[in-house]
C-alpha cells in the first residue's frame, strides 16, 4: 500500500529539483507567499570550533510553495532583492 504523505513529499521534492532553475519568483508572488505564511523558518545552529559547543543559531527563510514544494533560496532572494 502506498503512503499518500510519502508519495506527496517525494513528488514535491522532484518538482522542486526540476523547477528550481526554471521557477522565477516575482515580487507579487513573494508578497502572496508571505501573506499566506508559505515562508517558514529553518533553524541552523553554528558551532564554536574550539569548544565544540553551540555558539548560536541562525534562522534561514525557506519558501514552501503549494505547487513547487521547497523553492530554491536563490529564487526567494532574487525576488526579495528586487522589492
Alpha-carbon distances of 79 from 1, 12, 17, 35, 55, rounded to whole Å: 41, 21, 19, 15, 31
Q: pLDDT tens digit string along 16-47? A: 555 555 556 778 888 898 899 999 998 999 89
Q: Residue 82: pLDDT above 90? A: no
Residue 53 CA to residue 57 CA, distance in Å, equals 12
Count Cβ atoms below 10 Å from residue 49 Cβ, excluding itself: 8
Spacing of C-alpha 5 from chain mean position: 19
Q: pLDDT tens digit string along 45-62? A: 989 999 989 999 999 888
pLDDT of residue 55: 92
Question: For the whole model, what pTM was predicted?
Answer: 0.55
Residue 41 CA to residue 48 CA, distance in Å, equals 22
The 10 Å CB-count burial string (b at 16+, else e) for 19-28 is bbeebebeee
Amino acid at each position: 500500500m502506498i503512503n499518500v504523505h510519502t508519495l506527496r513529499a517525494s513528488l514535491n521534492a522532484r518538482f522542486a529539483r526540476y523547477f528550481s532553475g526554471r521557477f522565477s519568483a516575482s515580487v507579487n508572488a513573494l508578497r502572496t507567499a508571505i501573506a499566506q505564511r508559505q515562508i517558514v523558518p529553518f533553524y541552523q545552529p553554528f558551532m564554536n570550533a574550539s569548544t565544540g559547543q553551540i555558539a548560536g543559531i541562525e534562522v534561514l527563510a525557506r519558501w514552501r510553495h503549494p505547487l513547487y514544494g521547497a523553492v530554491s533560496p536563490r529564487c526567494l532572494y532574487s525576488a526579495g532583492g528586487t522589492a
